[in-house]
Amino acid sequence: MLQINDLHASAGGNEILRGITLSIDSGEVHAIMGPNGSGKSTLAQVLAGHPGYDVTAGSVTYRGRDLLEMEPEERAQAGVFLAFQYPVEIPGVSNAYFLRSAYNEIRKARGEAEADPLEFLDIVAGKLELVDMDDTMLTRSVNTGFSGGEKKRNEILQLAVLDPTLAILDETDSGLDIDALRTVADGVNRLRGRDNAFLVVTHYQRLLNYIVPDVVHVLIDGRIARSGGKELALELEDRGYDWLEAEAVAGGGA
Amino acid sequence: MTSAFVDQFRQAPPEGPAWLTAVRRRAMARFEQVGFPTTRNEDWHFTNPAPIAEASFVPMPAGHGTLTPGDLSPWLFGQDDWPLLVFVNGRYVPSLSRLRVETGGVKVMSLAAAMLEEPSLLERHLTRRADVEDVSQVFSAINTGLMSDGAVVQVQAGVTAARPIHLLYVTDAAADGGVSHPRTLLVAEPGSGATIIEQYVSAGGGGYFTNALTEAWIGDGASLTHYRLQREARNAFHVGTATVHQERDSHLFSFSFSTGALLSRINVYAGLHGPGCGATLNGLYMLDGSQHCDHQTRIVHSQPGCYSRELYKGVLDDASHGVFNGKVYVHPEAQKTDGKQTNNALLLSERARIDTKPQLEIFADDVKCTHGATVGRIDESALFYMKSRGIPNREARRLLTYAFAAEVLETIQVDALRDQLERLTLARFTGDAEGR
């Protein structure tokens, strides 16, 4: 579904991604782990099309299309979704309007009929329960005045409503207490399917207790230092990142 | 060189009672003496009235041409039981108006009719609030000299007008090159309440000039809600002043919505002259092309224990120019004054410009007065967030712009009016002609 090949990206002239190669198939969950500043979030943002990053080399192919040539909204319409590490507050735009606009744009792109406000309420009602939110949040402005946990749950609500093919979760666990973490993880697990894939970016292993990955990649200094099964995450939990960083310095040389 | 206005006054002074003739003469003499302001005048520093001063506008023709009640629909709010006074080219048109609804204690009539029927009401209030001596307010002096029609609303003591009263000033295509001086008088007797919608629109465009003046008096414990909508033709000029006098424990809610005209200057002046008053002055202006819109607000706290709130927002596109000057005066007696002023502008283009000037003069020591002004552009992180959810760039920008404006539109308390202005605002940012 997604092939990333030797991807280099920089921000403000500083190279952050220095040659990422990885491949994700339908039905898989991949985890990206790594210390702060290793480029995890940059990778997530580059895949979503954030204008603040320049891709300087490499390619990304998503379902046969050149992802890097697509505008952020085209990526979303083609089924790419990024759950933000820091969801943005948009005062004055209600969650209901925002979500329905997004939902209908994606429906339009798929050649499907748009939902009117009443039909849409039915669709959302079932998803709200998935993330343990009540419908009063629909009338509130997008993320405005939401607690950290509410913002993250709102991201998962959007994920559930928009039903992407490739979902990227950027540190969705940061700032969550254990109950909220479990709610969010349960929501994600119920959305996992044969036809979609997840890329879970996280600093800590604990989220992976709940969202069990098929593959774990460790990012060090903009490169994948190691890939392995879910047991790699546990090893990192025990040993930290230092040994991999030391290896990267020793092995990378340049 | 004397102004065409002076010539017109000399040749054909409008009719009226003797006391008014004397006031008119003084006002026009003052105008003749000081002339139009230039940008050296601090109150006109960012707005040059020369295009108005140099044009020779002629009085607008009588009669309402071909306008039918159906033609009014773009400016109505779907409520056909609201009292409606329609003026075309400055003159009251009974056949387009709806006045049957006055029930006990509310008088709604044209100024021309009030000259005959309510002479004592006019003598008490008309020309008593507007300042025609101030060199910055010569347009008020000109209106006072040349006004011949307009609206008069009086709500008697203890009465609350059940429905909003809509005063609709239409200028039609026949009035190209013409000027009108509509005058509105609003009197809310003690303990009364009323909502007034004063709207200026164009049927057929043209380069005309509306020189409007509204005076309002709010008695003890009364409350007045005043919506002022400036939706003139794109080539028109509009100068409009609302001067409000507030007595003890009275309340004013004022809202200025301004989207029309090539050049507009809107003054909202509130005098809080009794203890315990409150005044809220809100507004939204949306400009594009080469439009220029200048709002000047002035709140005078002359008595203790009053509050004032101001929220003005501007959305400026293309090479438009917005001006906001918010004056707040707190007299030495006005202890415990609580004032807050906010002005936010959103610039949608590199060429758009805003000049904003808060002006607080405080002579009492136990007061709380704050002001804040922001000038910003579309929030790029919010834009990316929306796009990352599949919302196209244009739609995302439109929504964010609308959201900026919505905060102040939400303060409109008349549902039908708020819905209409929200629709107009949305339409404006989709390039829909309705929003212009």
pLDDT digits (tens, 9 = 90+) for B76-106: 986 788 999 999 999 999 999 998 656 689 9
For residue B25, what are its two tokens? 């003469």
- Split at pLDDT 50, 70, 90, the class of A130 is confident
DSSP state at residue B229: E
B-side interface with A, Cβ within 8 Å? 379-382, 384-393, 395-396, 399-400, 402-404, 406-407
* pLDDT at A224 > cutoff 90: yes
Q: Judge contact between A166 and A123, C-beta under 8 A.
A: no
- Rg of chain A over CA atoms, in angstroms? 18
User: What are the φ and ψ backbone dihedral angles of A155, each rounded to 5 degrees?
Assistant: -60, -45
Residue among A48, A50, A20, A15 nearest A32 (CA): A20
Chain centroid, CA B187 distance in Å: 17
Residues of chain B with pLDDT below 50 are 432-436
Angle at CA of residue A113, ends A109 and A115, nearest 5°: 110
Which candidate from A76, A90, A109 shows the least CB-CB separation from B382?
A90
Position A203 scores a pLDDT of: 85
Query: What is the model's pLDDT at position A252?
Result: 55
The C-alpha angle A36, A41, A47, rounded to 5 degrees, equals 155
pTM of the complete model beyond 0.80: yes
Return left, alpha or beta for A176; rule: phi > 0 is left, psi -120 to 50 is alpha, else beta: beta
Contact A71 B386 (CB under 8 A): no
**pLDDT value of residue B436:** 43
* pLDDT tier, A133 (very low <50, low <70, confident <90, very high otherwise): confident
Closest CA relative to residue B294, chosen from B8, B46, B21? B46
- pLDDT at residue A101 greater than cutoff 70: yes
Residue A254 has pLDDT above 50, yes or no: no
For residue B340, the cross-strand partners are: B309, B370
CB B228 within 8 A of CB B255: yes
Report pLDDT digits (tens) over A163-191: 999 999 999 888 788 888 888 888 889 88
State the nearest Cα–Cα gap between B85 and chain A, in angstroms: 34
Least CB–CB distance from B382: residue in A88, A105, A162: A88
SS (H, E, C) B300-337: EECCCCCEEEEEEEEEECCCCEEEEEEEEEECCCCCCC
Structure tokens belonging to residue B36: 């139009």
Name chain A contacts of B379, Cβ cutoff 8 Å: 88, 90
Per-residue pLDDT at A206 exceeds 90: no
Distance in angstroms (rounded) separating the CA atoms of residues B129 and B106: 21
Token pair belonging to A250: 């020793």
pLDDT average, residue stretch A59-87: 96
Rounded Cα distance between B286 and B322, Å, is 9
The answer for residues whose C-beta is within 8 angstroms of residue A64's C-beta and 6 or more apart is none
3-state secondary structure (DSSP) of residue B162: coil
Could you report the predicted ipTM of this complex, rounded to two decimals? 0.95
* Whether B85 contacts B99, CB under 8 Å: yes
The single-letter DSSP state of residue A104 is H
The C-alpha R_g of chain B, in whole angstroms, comes to 21
Read off the pLDDT of each residue in A202-210 and give the average, rounded to a whole number: 87
